[in-house]
Amino acid sequence: MKILVPVKRVVDYNVKVRVKADGTGVDIGNVKMSMNPFDEIAVEEAVRLKEKGVATEVIAVSCGVAACQETLRTAMAIGADRGILVETDVELQPLAVAKLLKALVDKEQPGLIILGKQAIDDDANQTGQMLAALADLPQATFASKVEVAGDRVEVTREVDGGLETLSLSTPAVVTTDLRLNEPRYVTLPNIMKAKKKPLDTIKPADLGVDVAPRVKTLKVAEPAGRKAGIKVADVAALVDKLKNEAKVI
């Protein structure tokens, strides 16, 4: 079984993002970039399945600028066997990424596609679901446990009422939650080995996909700063403010 793992290059989660002065987006100049944390969990899960003998090959895929090769090398250092970069300078939106991944699914015929439930830059939480719809594949989102047996995959996911277990036929799409696993530390020897692993670069046109944006961003603004709290003299004053100012009671 092949496992396809899409990974996204995003601003590192430790970095405080800054909005551009003209409000057109987030400033990524001279900012540390890294793999989306949810995608890192997806790579780790795919590698663990390979180590169990369930999978024969793990393929990491990234869509974006040439610098995404670094993200793919990180995935290969974790344990992915090879990488595919769909290179484009166009701003990619979830639907465009899902179409690119669908074309790659048709080409590679993986038994399982594992990807992060969302990216920490746009928080869209759409790509996995769109891919499942386009490719007409069963899906299980927000996975906290994945077990593969034969041609079926059992996925435990967290829902409002507790835990839900889904049994899917393969091929299938699974999106990962934070509780699925803890990604391993990437060692220097594995980083060196990753440099020798194959990485193919293709263009969206090679896959026959139009990636032109369908949605236009009008303005990006920082959230309003939190106002300082106040102290009240007694319970009566607190109740008065909650009732007449906050209007919550």
Domain assignment of residue 199, yes or no: yes
Mean pLDDT confidence for 98-109: 94
Domain assignment of residue 89, yes or no: yes
Domain assignment of residue 178, yes or no: yes
- Residue 106: pLDDT band (50, 70, 90) is very high
Domain assignment of residue 249, yes or no: no
Q: Which domain holds residue 32?
A: 2-244
Domains contained in the chain, number: 1
Mean pLDDT confidence for 101-109: 94
pLDDT value at position 7? 95
pLDDT value at position 75? 94
Mean pLDDT confidence for 102-129: 92
| Single-letter amino acid, residue 152 | R
Q: What is the pTM of this model?
A: 0.85
Bigger pLDDT: 39 or 247? 39
Whether the predicted pLDDT of 21 surpasses 90: no
Token representation of residue 209: 């996909």
Whether the predicted pLDDT of 122 surpasses 90: no
Give CA separation, 107 vs 71, 99, 150, in Å. Answer: 22, 13, 22
Residue 7, helix vs strand vs coil:
coil
Q: What is the pLDDT of residues 155-165, one digit of tens each?
A: 999 888 889 99
- CATH code: domain of residue 240: 3.40.50.620
Domain assignment of residue 197, yes or no: yes
Q: What is the pLDDT of residues 181-240, one digit of tens each?
A: 999 999 999 999 999 999 999 999 999 989 888 888 888 888 888 888 888 889 999 999
Domain assignment of residue 70, yes or no: yes
Residue 6, helix vs strand vs coil:
strand
- Reference 130, options 92, 169, 99; nearest CA is 99
